C-alpha cells in the first residue's frame, strides 16, 4: 500500500485540483493515470512540464477503438525527481481525426506525430512535417487502423505461394492426437481455428 | 562421344569448366542485410564457422559482389533498393534466398508491406529454408550454389535478362512509383 502523502498521491491531488474534469487514478507505485478531454491535453502537458517537473516525454501512442468510433492518444511523462510516471489519455474522433501538435513542448513528439499521421491518419495541426515517413507510396486506408484488412490486402497485392491451405493449428492437433483435455477458456483461442 | 542433341549454345567447353571452377571458389557476398536473418551472417563469417575456407567473403559494393544474399523478409520499400542493387551487380551474379520469408512469406505472410515470394521479382538460384537458418545450413546452401556453378546451372542472371519483361511486370505491380535508371547489361 502507498502512503497517504507519497509522491504519487501528491501528484494526483495536484492534478485533481487544477483540472477538475480529469479522472485521476493512482494505479500502483510510480504510476498515475489521467483521463482528459482532448482540448485539455495541451494545457495539461504544459502544466505537468512547467509546474510539476515532468520534464521527460517517454512515449506517445495511439489506440484504435473502432467499436466506439474513437482514437485514443496516450502520452507518458516521467518525473526524474519524484520518480513518478503519468499516463495521460484522451479520446478523439476517428473520422477525419485531428489534434493539436505538442511539438512545442517536446521536440521528439514530432516523430511520433508523423508516425500517427501515416499509420492512423491523425492530422496534427502545427506539425509541418506530416509527409511520407516510413511507408513508401502508400495509398488508401492507413494500415494500422483496425478496419484495414491486412490479410485481404496481402492476398490481393502479393503473390501467395500455395502450400498454406493445410496449415494446422499445432496446439489443437496435438491435443486431438493425444486426447488431451483443453480447458474451456483455452478452447476459445486454440481449438476454434480447427473447427471453423 | 559428342551428343548431337545438345545445341551449340548449351555446349560446355573446357574454358567454361575452368572458369566455373575458379568462380565457385571465390564467392564474394554483398554485405547487405535486409531482414532479421542478417544476424546469422557474422557467426558464419567469423572463426567459429569460418566461411572463408570455402572462398566465401564479404564485399563492400554491389559492383564487386558475386552473390546477393536476401536475408529474410523484404518490405516493398527494401525490394526497390534490392532490385537496384541487383541490377548494378556485374554478371556472373547469383541470388540466395535466405529464410522462410523469401520462400512463402514466413511469419509475415499476411503483412501489408512484405513480399511473399522472392522468385517473382528476382531470379533465385538457391533457397535456404529455416527461420532462421543456422550457419551450418547457410554454408550448406553456399556449397549447393558452388556445385550448381560447377555444373553451369546457376544461370539466374541469364534468366533474368531473358525474361526481364515478366520480372518488370511483377516488380511494377508492387512498386507504383517506378523511378529507376535502366542499367545496361
Class of B13-174 per CATH? alpha beta
Comparison of pLDDT for A172 and A98, the residue scoring more: A98
pLDDT given at position B134? 92
Sheet architecture: strand order including A70-79 = A23-28, A31-36, A84-93, A70-79, A56-65
pTM: 0.82
Q: State which H helix or E strand residue B147 sits in.
A: helix B135-150
* B107, closest residue in chain A (CA to CA): A164
At B118 the pLDDT is 92
> pLDDT at residue A15 above 80?
yes
- Of A2-16, A95-109, B14-28, B84-98, give the lowest mean pLDDT range: A2-16
Q: What percent of chain A has pLDDT above 90? A: 58
Candidate from A81-90, A165-174, B29-38, B42-51 with smallest mean pLDDT? A165-174
Instruction: Identify the structural domains of chain A with CATH numbers, from first to last.
Output: 7-160 (3.30.460.80), 167-196 (no CATH)
The per-residue pLDDT for range A159-168, each reduced to its tens digit, is: 988 887 777 7
Cα separation of A132 and A130, whole Å? Answer: 7
Please compute the mean of the pLDDT values over residues A168-189 and round it to a whole number. Answer: 75
Under 8 Å CB pairs connecting chains A and B tally to: 51
Average pLDDT, chain A: 88
Selected for mutation to probe chain B from A119, A135, A136 (highest B CB count within 10 Å) is: A136
Query: Higher model confidence: residue A187 or residue B141?
Result: B141
Position A6 scores a pLDDT of 84
Give the pLDDT of residue A196. Answer: 44
Who has greater pLDDT, A71 or A190? A71
Residue B153 pLDDT > 80, yes or no?
A: yes
Q: Is A142 on the interface with B (CB under 8 A)?
A: no
ipTM over 0.85: no
Please state the rounded mean pLDDT for residues B53-62.
90
Tell me the nearest-neighbour CA distance from B15 into chain A, angstroms: 39
Q: What was the pLDDT predicted at B136? A: 93
* Per-position DSSP letters for A92-160, written without gaps between them: EESTT-EEE--TTT-TTHHHHHHHHHHHH--EEET-TT-S--SSSS--SS-TTSTTS-HHHHHHHHSPP
In chain B, domain spans: 13-174
A39 phi/psi in degrees, rounded to 5? -75, -10
The predicted model gives A51-58 an average pLDDT of 92
Closest in B103, B113, B115 to A135, CB measured: B113
- Band (A194; pLDDT cuts 50, 70, 90): very low
B154-177 burial string, b = 16+ CB within 10 Å, else e? bbbbeebeeeeeebeebbeebbee
pLDDT surpassing 50 at residue B91: yes
Q: Does B170 touch chain A (CB under 8 A)?
A: yes
The confidence band for B46, taking pLDDT boundaries of 50, 70 and 90, is very high
pLDDT of residue B16 exceeding 90, the answer is no
| Mean pLDDT calculated for residue range A6-35 | 91
pLDDT (average), residues A177-190? 73
At B5, is the pLDDT very low, low, confident or very high (cuts 50, 70, 90)?
low
Note the pLDDT of residue A85.
94
For residue A139, the chain B residues in CB contact (below 8 A) are 176
The pLDDT value given to residue B109 = 87
pLDDT at A195 > cutoff 70: no
Amino acid at each position: 500500500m502507498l502512503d497517504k502523502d507519497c509522491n504519487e498521491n501528491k501528484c494526483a491531488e495536484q492534478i485533481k485540483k487544477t483540472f477538475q474534469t480529469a479522472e485521476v487514478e493512482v494505479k500502483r507505485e510510480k504510476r498515475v493515470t489521467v483521463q482528459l478531454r482532448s482540448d485539455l491535453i495541451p494545457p495539461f502537458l504544459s502544466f505537468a512540464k512547467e509546474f510539476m517537473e515532468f520534464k521527460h516525454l517517454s512515449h506517445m501512442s495511439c489506440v484504435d477503438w473502432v467499436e466506439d468510433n474513437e482514437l485514443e492518444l496516450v502520452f507518458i511523462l516521467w518525473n526524474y525527481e519524484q520518480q513518478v510516471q503519468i499516463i495521460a489519455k484522451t479520446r478523439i474522433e476517428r473520422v477525419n481525426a485531428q489534434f493539436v501538435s505538442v511539438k512545442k513542448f517536446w521536440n521528439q513528439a514530432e516523430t511520433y506525430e508523423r508516425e500517427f499521421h501515416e499509420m492512423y491518419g491523425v492530422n496534427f495541426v502545427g506539425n509541418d512535417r506530416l509527409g511520407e515517413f516510413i511507408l513508401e507510396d502508400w495509398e488508401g486506408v492507413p494500415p494500422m487502423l483496425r478496419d484495414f484488412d491486412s490479410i485481404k490486402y496481402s492476398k490481393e497485392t502479393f503473390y501467395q505461394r500455395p502450400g498454406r491451405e493445410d496449415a494446422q493449428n499445432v496446439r489443437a492437433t496435438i491435443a486431438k492426437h493425444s486426447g488431451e483435455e483443453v480447458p474451456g477458456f483455452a478452447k476459445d483461442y486454440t481449438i476454434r481455428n480447427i473447427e471453423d | 562421344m559428342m551428343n548431337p542433341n545438345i545445341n551449340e549454345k548449351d555446349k560446355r567447353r573446357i574454358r567454361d569448366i575452368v572458369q566455373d571452377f575458379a568462380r565457385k571458389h571465390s564467392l564474394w557476398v554483398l554485405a547487405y542485410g535486409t531482414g532479421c536473418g542478417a544476424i546469422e551472417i557474422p557467426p558464419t563469417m567469423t572463426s567459429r564457422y569460418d566461411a572463408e575456407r570455402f572462398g566465401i567473403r564479404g564485399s563492400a559494393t554491389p559492383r564487386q559482389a558475386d552473390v546477393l544474399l536476401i536475408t529474410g523478409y523484404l518490405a516493398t520499400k527494401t525490394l526497390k533498393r534490392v532490385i537496384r542493387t541487383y541490377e548494378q551487380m556485374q554478371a556472373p551474379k547469383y541470388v540466395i534466398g535466405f529464410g522462410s520469408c523469401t520462400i512463402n512469406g514466413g511469419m509475415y505472410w499476411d503483412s501489408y508491406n512484405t513480399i511473399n515470394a522472392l522468385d517473382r521479382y528476382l531470379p533465385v538460384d538457391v533457397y535456404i529454408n529455416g527461420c532462421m537458418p543456422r550457419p551450418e545450413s547457410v554454408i550448406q546452401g553456399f556449397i549447393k550454389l558452388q556445385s550448381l556453378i560447377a555444373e553451369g546451372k546457376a544461370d539466374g542472371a541469364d534468366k533474368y535478362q531473358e525474361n526481364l519483361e515478366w520480372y518488370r511486370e511483377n516488380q511494377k505491380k508492387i512498386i507504383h512509383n517506378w523511378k529507376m535508371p535502366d542499367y545496361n547489361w
